[in-house]
Structure 1
Amino acid sequence: MKYTQLGRTGLKVSRLVLGTMNFGPQTDEAESHSIMDAALGAGMNFFDTANAYGWGANKGRTEEILGTWFAQGGDRRDKVVLATKVYANMGPEGEAWPNYDRLSALNIRRAVEASLKRLQTDHIDLYQFHHVDRHTPVEEIWQAVDTLIQQGKILYAGSSNFPGWKIAQMNEAAGKKGLYGLVSEQCLYNLAERRAEMEVIPAAQEYGLGVICWSPLHGGLLGGVIKKESQGRRRTSGRSADALANTEVRAQVQAYEDLLDKHGLRPGEAALAWLLTRPGVTGPIVGPRTADQLASALRAVELELSDEVLSGLDEIFPGTGPSPEAFAW
């Protein structure tokens, strides 16, 4: 496994991030534990979750599954760089109870304690703000974070789904208080969705943040979906089905699959390998539902894409161009 440094921190993290969103809703506890054992055995040490994962009436279930895995011992917790998130309403299902969501100091304090209990650990390595909170002053957010760092309950703070201007605002505010600021941004970024290149990634690079990419296969669209359809191996649904209903998108995905087939490459692995070539990227988040999906993702780390393939991918999925030059006429 290849490693890198998480932003401005001293943490060494694997180039692939194990996303746990499917643990609970789609993958039961026993198989989730097996996947985490396999990931750790392969050298993956960066695990990402969120307090809301499990969803609906089962919010928090995913953190609980990680907690029971840590509780098995074997230095599991010590070997993992653990990231979780705060923002979603964790109050009783169907009740919009005040102060049980967003980034108020009260909710951050409440959410950290609840996550620590579910995760069966005494600290969180990377505590991420899941979304922008337009209602809480940034000074209040940083005051709460600083208190938690002083208490040893979290080590670093990161953002998720933040625009470039918010990354700048948060880090400038932190700097004025003599605080460390954000060390990472978790954003939507893949071959089919490259808008992060305009402002988010440049802002992250300017402030020394690591970039963690979610949905690296764009909801399955970049995972060889057309070929799987033709072979009867998969029935397209959800985001992929909606996207492929657009004839232009379907032609684009077909060209993508044809290019990779020509070079003997698996689409899903190539999409992950492409992200690992991108400036500023710490690593993509992979959310395997099975051990086979994890094995496929691990192969991507060692995959070297040729200049011809990289050029072909840029032609099929053109990026925005360098910022700020791309804004010019």
Structure 2
Amino acid sequence: MTRPRFALGTMHFGTRVDRPTAFGLLDRFVDAGGSLIDTANCYAFWTDPESAGGHSERVIGAWLASRPGVRDRVRLSTKVGAQPIGDGDWPANREGLSATAIKSAIEGSLDRLHTDHIDLLWTHMEDRSVSLEETGSALALLIGSGAVGRLGASNHPLWRVERARGVARANGWPGYSALQLRHSYIAPRPGATVPDQGHRFGWVTDEILDYVGSDRELALWVYTPLINGSYTRDDRPLPEAYDHPGTTRRLAVLNEVASEVGATRNQVVLAWLTGGEPAVTPIVGVSTVAQLEETLNGAALVLPTKLRARLDATT
């Protein structure tokens, strides 16, 4: 069985997606050969003002505990650094990336997930109040203890990632081997505000694609690849920031390609993401089995070379 080329996004598990539905989605994903499950310790605190998050991790942990042997079939990806603490407005009151905060965060995640290790741990947001040496040392200890397998940086500016990797190399520590940012086939106007994007540095750029493409050690994961359903759902119009001629041209060619291969626009976008250079791992959040089936079929789609070239050439 060919493994689906995407990670299952679980941001809303335990909040907007109830536990029975989440269990069904996880079961179907694994039955289809899926293995990558992405979450974060702060998901989804904004839906429950009385909490600091942890909803998604608890649901995944309960699912793992009720499915003997399934932990060996999946790879867990979670994030630390953005969980709210104390009083005040987020993100000023987040846990950050001090050694103490990282240790506390990983202990909480392991407990909620009912596991003894995280396969890929992301620092969710940068923390300039803490030295890269302190953060890097704390992360290296997690790798050394076996609590974490790999490290990734989510929503970090590229220069900070490269500097952190240099600090790790200089000290003989494991460094970041993955980046996680927002990316899709269409993009907003440069500098435009996108309502659902709270991370200043959370976008894939040509520079990032070049950086990842030139470094075999780096993997690129991308979130919101389907722009919250805007490619296919009339009730989810694109944000105003996407209103520009480039979007019009790209949607037109996307329609043409989708018609030629007999797929939905979502499926073509996923095939474009996973089959390009550098190839990326989309993180796709779903709330129904029908959405998951569409995603599975899209991730399995291989675009003919000429059609991919047409998509790439349209700007």
For normalisation by structure 1, the TM-score amounts to 0.82
CA–CA separation in structure 1 for the residues paired with 2:90 and 2:158: 30
Count the aligned residue pairs: 295
Counterpart position of 1:299: 297
Counterpart position of 1:41: 31
Shift in alpha-carbon separation, 1:155–1:307, aligned structure 2, 3 A: closer
Q: CA deviation at 1:168?
A: 1.4
Q: Following superposition of structure 1 onto structure 2, how do residues 1-329 of structure 1 map, counting pairs within 5 Å?
A: 2-3=2-3, 14-56=4-46, 57=49, 58=51, 59-92=53-86, 94=88, 101-193=95-187, 196-207=204-215, 208-221=217-230, 223-225=231-233, 229=234, 235-236=235-236, 240-243=238-241, 246=243, 248=245, 251-252=248-249, 254-263=251-260, 264-316=262-314, 318=315
Deviations 1:226-281 (A, max 9, x none): xxx3xxxxx235xx24346x364663465145313541321000000000122233
Between 254-263 and 44-53, the greater mean CA deviation after superposition: 254-263
Deviations 1:76-122 (A, max 9, x none): 21211111001113325657799851111111111111111111111
Q: Which residue identity does 1:154 align to in structure 2? A: V
> 8 Å contact 1:288–1:294 — kept in the other structure?
yes
Q: 3-state SS of the aligned residue for 2:311? A: helix
Identify unmatched segments of 5+ residues in structure 1: 4-13, 230-234, 319-329
CA–CA separation in structure 2 for the residues paired with 1:98 and 1:243: 26
Q: 3-state SS of the aligned residue for 1:211? A: strand
Q: Quote the sequence identity (%).
A: 31
CA–CA separation in structure 2 for the residues paired with 1:97 and 1:256: 39
Q: CA deviation at 1:128?
A: 0.3
Q: Which residue identity does 1:200 align to in structure 2? A: I
CA–CA separation in structure 2 for the residues paired with 1:97 and 1:308: 45
For normalisation by structure 2, the TM-score amounts to 0.85
CA–CA separation in structure 2 for the residues paired with 1:205 and 1:171: 16
Q: 3-state SS of the aligned residue for 2:177? A: strand
Identify unmatched segments of 5+ residues in structure 2: 189-202
